[in-house]
Amino acid sequence: MAIDIRESVDVGQPGGSAPSVRQSNRPSWLGQHLGTAIIGAVAGYALGHFIGNSIASGYVHVANSGQNDVAVCLGLAFGVFGWLAGVGALNYPLAKLVGKEAPDEIAETGWGRYFRYTLDHKVVGQQYVIGVLLFLFTGGLLAMAIRTELLYPTNHLIGPGTYIAIVGEHGTIMMMMATSIVIGPLGNWLTPLLVGSRRMAFPRIEAFSFWIFTAGYLVILTALPLGGFPTGWTGYAPLQTESGAGMDSYLVGFAVIGTGMILAGFNMAVTIINHRAPGMSWSRVPIFAWSLLATSSLLTLATPLLFVAGLFGVLDRTALTAFFVNERGGSSFLWENLFWFFGHPEVYIMALPGFGIVAEMLPVFCGKPLFAYRVGAAGMVGVALLSFFVWQHHLFQSGINPDMRPLFMLTTELISIPTGFIYLVGLGTLWRAKIRFEVPMLFCLALYFNFLIGGITGVFLSDVPVNVTLHGSFFVMAHFHYTIMGGLVFAFFGGLYYWLPKMTGYSMNKRLGQIHFWVMFIFFNLTFFPLFVVGLLGMPRRVFEYAARLQGLNDFSTVCAYVLGASFVIFIANFVWSIYIDPRPAPANPWGSRGLEWQTPTPVPFYNFERIPVILSDPYHYGEENPLPVADLGLGGTPVAAAVLSGNGEHASGSDGGGPSV
Amino acid sequence: MADPAGGSHRARSEDARHAWRIFAIWFVLSAVIDPLYYFLAGPHMPPGAETSAASGAQFDLNVVMVTAMPVVIAVVLYLGYAVVVWGAKRSGDREAVGGPKYTRNLRVQMAFIGVTTLIVMGMFVFGTVELIVPAGAGGGEGPNPIWTPTSKTILPIQVIAQQWKFTYRYPTFGGFETDQLMLPDNTTVAFHVTSLDVIHSFWAYQLGVKADANPAEDNVAYTTTQQTGEFTVRCSELCGLWHGSMYDFGHIMTKQGFEQWATSTEQKLAPATKLLPKFAYTYVPDANGADGGYYPDNVDPYSNVETYGASTTQS
């Protein structure tokens, strides 16, 4: 790892200028907002559906079939465009396209801004918080339905058709949500603050990625009224090709979400690389930013495969191409490989940000510097790189060339090494610390426990002979719930408890936070640990009937799942209580963090930093007698930067002197 | 940057005290739990011992478990130790200042990375040997298996999956097709798994066999039966509406009993067999409309591995 540790002399544009906006006194219900977006989406769907019917209703495979995939796909695609146009996300590109100057975006301060296309990364981050929570809770309710059906081995509360639709919907919603659960809210809100910039590199793309993310949520929800899709989130062809109209929602939905993922990742990577403040060399970048960088490179490089695979699937279903149809010269293995070539990097998209969050919080609550910072950064980059070389471990028993299997077993097991780096950082930081058990820290420690179980069971699955028994069983399902939910979702909630005081300006209730944590942690483990056993005992995934001898374990898991679901109600109650009912203003730096984001006033002003800060050290010098300030914020007094960096005086003057120029 | 070796002599001895304590607890726990697991629980772990693939899978699972448990114990013990010993007295203790300011320790880092690499490479070598030596360990090897059983006489059985049922064809008994899966004891079996519609997966749980059933593809998995008994077959790849009820049960019988069953079933089903398409590895036409190879007539039931079904001439 060649990490450049020199003082950075030229780190590109330091993000000095904010996007051009004007403030307006227009009432917020005028203009474009969520309401016009809904109108646009409905109108777009109607138009697309009409066009699809006009084109295809006479086709042999459509006429009298009761299903016109052309109309559904076009309806969904036009609906997405209607949604984006309705909210105003297309104003700028369309105006530029016809050679006109785009209208200025309005900078609002009231409630209305949360329902608009807005260029303030902090508002987008807050929109994302609500967006991903909505996504998460929708998927969670579907999970409750799944567990309810599994209360009885052969008596059914919901029919197999509804069950399979719910399984697919739950998986797809959760996978879509999990790709953005950290990158979206915390990534967008924090990245400029972490690297000392006033904005994301591309504020319009940032806002666009949020609104297309919500469009993807709506598209995948349309699968339910369209009859659902029977393939699960993996969408294997040829089942995909023969399924009902709900499958169109899946394919279009993944393409839409995928577009948002590519754009969000691209934006994030460019921001971290090019918008670092002067003095923020690669060895001073917060570890969370490293994990975001690794994640966004995965988003940018892996997701196009998903988009292309989804497009092929749509063509197979509408234009009767044969990409995935064996009988006509295609191959069902093509979908499996395209999907997992995206799908495996994707699961690290759902792990790395969690590692970043916990590594960022540990030093604060341990009162110690981060241990082995470079090893941690190398671990994140290493996991990201290796994740492109493991996808066939999903296909060990599928009938692919058998000689590939030792190779993919090796690459899969090699990932344990950089993942171990990340554990080394965590465990090393805990060494002889004085741990403050604040709520975010509890979530941190829980991640190390949960991901340990998830990671170790991953090694079981990577071992091909053991995989023969475990593949496609509940063991796999328990394994990835331990990594994604036990890792990422726990880290996300830890991150929320940690950064919400900064985001909202109000402290979260500590007592409720502790109750939330303990209920969630205990019942998460009680829900999913028995499912490892259930899988070992021979229960395949996604079934609605199972052996009667497994009922005890399944019922135990179901009951615990209800309590786990209820723990999120505690979180909502805490959120509403602490922010709306009994708001207590949070101090600017409640945890005593040295991170750059905590050096800003609360609430964070529109321009983040009055002057672009000059970074003087990495943010992990905890417990030192007289540590160097992490940055010179240029807020009067002796300019620390000038004093410290006497040899590099240009850094101090590099802080673009202009204050906010609204 | 903090001093790499931990500063004063006292700090170092403090380090050593904690390290030894954690190591000792870890060592005792691992030394107790690992053998307890291996000898008490190990022989009862799934998928059992009905076939060579099953007992192989059980052995592999136990070895991985015995390797993994000390790792789990180490990390959980460390986390627990940290919480108990290094927790601040009051959670709101804002003055809390952590211990020594280690930012790196080359020896610890190298040791950590070295140990994880060793474990990983050991697992890889073990897994590869256990995959190749027992002829694919019961997993589907695709149409061209490269790891084949040492036994020269192999009973071929075709597994045909369709929504939402498995049927089985016995090509060496006139090619009859039935929904009963019967196997002879002490025999190497080759499962030729294929599908008529979507992707399914043939999971014979107690046999330790799993192979995806792909349309237009012959996926071969080997195992050798060792005991008589019953086993469960489930579909383990989501195949649509009734995926959850796509299961049945098979039996491993004595060799004699099996032959009796097979010949009598062959006679009983002869009129139906005549109406079936000729035996082929796949039943979905390929891009040129051809449908795979045909099985030769009148062959020895336990065919030589080189010749059974070798004919690919089209009729």
Do A239 and B205 count as a contact with CB atoms less than 8 A apart? no
> What confidence score (pLDDT) does residue A110 get?
74
Are A134 and A102 within one domain? no
Contact B208 A624 (CB under 8 A): no
What does the block give as tokens for A85? Answer: 């146009």
- Helices A69-87 and A287-318 sit at what angle, rounded to 10 degrees? 140
Candidates A123, A217, A130, A231; CA nearest to A177 is A217
B250: closest CA of chain A, how far (Å): 15
Q: Residue A102: its pLDDT value, please?
A: 75
Alpha-carbon Rg for chain A in angstroms: 25
Judging contacts by C-beta atoms under 8 Å, the chain B residues touching residue A449 are 75-76, 79
Question: In angstroms, what separates the C-alpha of B261 from chain A's closest C-alpha?
Answer: 28
Contact between A200 and A206 under an 8 Å Cβ cutoff? The reply is yes
Cross-chain residue pair A469–B214, CB shorter than 8 Å? no
What is the pLDDT, as a whole number, of residue A101?
81
Nearest to A465 among B57, B78, B119 (CB): B57
What is the chain A residue with the closest CA to B284?
Answer: A327
**Chain B residue whose CA is closest to A408:** B124
Residue A240 near residue A314, CB atoms below 8 Å: no
Q: What is the average per-residue pLDDT within B29-56?
A: 92
Q: How many CB atoms lie within 10 A of CB A141?
A: 13
Cα distance between residue A616 and residue A376, in whole Å: 21
**Closest residue in chain A to residue B107, using alpha carbons only:** A372
- Closest by Cα among A457, A288, A274 to A376: A288
Q: Are A508 and A574 in contact, with CB atoms under 8 Å apart? A: yes
Distances B138 to A356, A635, B202, B212 between C-alpha atoms, Å: 40, 69, 11, 12
Cα–Cα distance, B300 to B70 (Å, whole number): 51
| Co-location of A98 and A124 in the same domain | no
Burial of residue A334 (CB within 10 Å: 0-12, 13-18, 19+) is middle
Residue A181 counted as domain residue: yes
Within a domain: A333: yes
Q: What is the CATH number of the domain that holds A525?
A: 1.20.210.10
Interface A–B counts its CB contacts (< 8 A) at 304
Where a domain ends, among A581, A596, A628? Answer: A581
Domain residue ranges in chain B: 9-90+100-133, 140-304
| Strands (E) located in A112-265 | none
pLDDT < 70 positions in chain A: 1-29, 104-108, 636-662
Residue A453 with chain B: CB contacts under 8 Å = 72
The whole-angstrom distance between B267's CA and the closest CA on chain A is 33
Please tell me the distance in Å from B96's CA to the nearest CA on chain A: 6
Within a 10 A sphere around the Cβ of A29, how many other Cβ atoms?
10
| B136: chain A residues, CB-CB within 8 Å | 402
Residues A175 and A223 in one domain: yes
pLDDT of residue A10: 38
**A355 plus A275 within the same structural domain:** yes
* CA A379 to centroid of chain Cα atoms: 19
Interface mutation vs chain B, best among A364, A466, A594, A624, most B CBs within 10 Å: A466
Scanning every residue of chain A, which has its alpha carbon at the shortest distance from the alpha carbon of B1?
A621
Among the CATH numbers 3.30.2350.10, 3.30.420.40, 3.40.50.300, 2.60.40.420, which is that of B140-304? 2.60.40.420
- Find chain B residues with C-beta within 8 A of A536's C-beta: 45-46
A385 burial via Cβ count (<10 Å: 0-12, 13-18, 19+): middle
| Residue reference for tokens 């399902």 | A477
Interface touch B68/A460, C-beta < 8 Å: yes
- When CB atoms are compared, the residue of A231, A373, A413 closest to B238 is A231
Tokens of A193: 């603050």
Nearest neighbour of A327 by CB, restricted to B68, B123, B216: B216
Q: Are residues A77 and A124 in the same domain?
A: no
Residues of A in contact with B75 (CB under 8 A): 423, 427, 448-449, 452
Q: Is the pLDDT of residue B292 over 50?
A: no
Same domain assignment for residues A109 and A126: no
Q: Under an 8 A CB cutoff, do B79 and A445 touch?
A: yes
Cβ contact A538–B46 (<8 Å): yes
CA nearest B234 in A: which residue?
A: A540
Q: A239 vs B134: CB contact, 8 Å cut-off?
A: no
Final residue of a structural domain among A559, A581, A603? A581
Q: Is A189 helix (H, G, I), strand (E, B) or coil?
A: helix
DSSP-assigned beta bridge partners for residue B233: B204, B248
Domain that holds residue A42: 30-114
Same-domain status, A97 and A245 = no
Chain A residue at shortest CA distance from B71: A456
List, for residues A613-629, the tens digit of each pLDDT value: 988 888 888 877 777 78
On whether residue A613 sits in a domain, the answer given is no
Distance of CA B7 to the CA centre of its chain: 50
Contact list, B236 vs chain A (CB under 8 Å): 471-473, 540-541
Cross-chain residue pair B79–A430, CB shorter than 8 Å: yes
Rounded distance between C-alpha atoms, residue B14 and residue B35, angstroms: 32
Distances (CA, A) of A606 to A119, A128, A154, A370, A660: 10, 18, 58, 31, 8
B chain contacts of residue A542, beta-carbon cutoff 8 Å: 238, 243-244
- Per residue in A437-462, pLDDT (tens digit) is 999 999 999 999 999 999 999 999 99
Inter-chain contact A373–B285, Cβ cutoff 8 Å?
A: no
CB-CB contact of B175 with B182 (8 Å) = no
Give the whole-angstrom CA distance, residue A210 versus residue A27: 23
SS3 of B299, please? coil
ipTM: 0.87
Residue of B nearest to A437 (CA): B91
Q: Are residues A123 and A107 in the same domain?
A: no
Minimum distance, in Å, between the CA of residue A366 and any CA atom of chain B: 6
Instruction: Please report residues of B whose CB lies closer than 8 A to that of A428.
Output: 102, 105, 108
Alpha-carbon gap: A290 to the closest alpha carbon of chain B (Å): 17
Give yes or no: residues A95 and A154 share one domain. no
For residue A19, is it within any domain? no
CB < 8 Å to A243, chain B: 240
Sheet-wide strand order for B181-184: B181-184, B247-253, B229-235, B200-204, B209-213
Please tell me the distance in Å from B49's CA to the nearest CA on chain A. 13
Dist CA B159 CA B194 (whole Å): 6
What percent of the residues of chain B are helix, what percent strand, and what percent coil, each to the nearest 5? 40, 20, 35
Q: To 10 degrees, the CA torsion angle through A523, A528, A531, A532?
A: -130
Nearest to A424 among B109, B219, B244 (CB): B109
Q: Let me know whether A184 and A256 are in one domain.
A: yes
- The helix or strand, by DSSP H or E, that contains position A21, with its residue range, turns out to be strand A21-23
A568's enclosing H/E stretch is helix A551-576
d(CA B279, CA A72): 41
Residue B148 with chain A: CB contacts under 8 Å: none
Residues of A in contact with B2 (CB under 8 A): 369
Task: For residue B309, name the pLDDT band (cuts at 50, 70, 90).
Answer: very low
Reading the block at residue B147, the tokens are 């790891």
pLDDT (0 to 100) of residue A634? 74
Distances (CA, A) of B77 to A233, B19, B22, B25, B29: 37, 12, 8, 8, 10
Total-model pTM: 0.89
Q: Are residues A356 and A393 part of one domain?
A: yes
* Residue in B46, B198, B235 nearest the CB of A540: B235
Check whether B80 has a pLDDT greater than 70: yes
Can you give the pLDDT at residue A499? 93
Task: Say if A173 falls within a structural domain.
Answer: yes
Q: Which residue of B has its CA nearest to A413?
A: B120
Q: Count the domains in chain A.
A: 2
**Chain B residue with minimum CA distance to A426:** B79
Q: β-strand B200-204 against B176-178: which pairing, if any?
A: unpaired
Beta bridge partners of B168: B159, B178
Q: What token pair was written down for A253? A: 């939905």
Tell which of A114, A141, A171 closes a domain.
Answer: A114
Identify whether residues A273 and A310 lie together within a single domain: yes
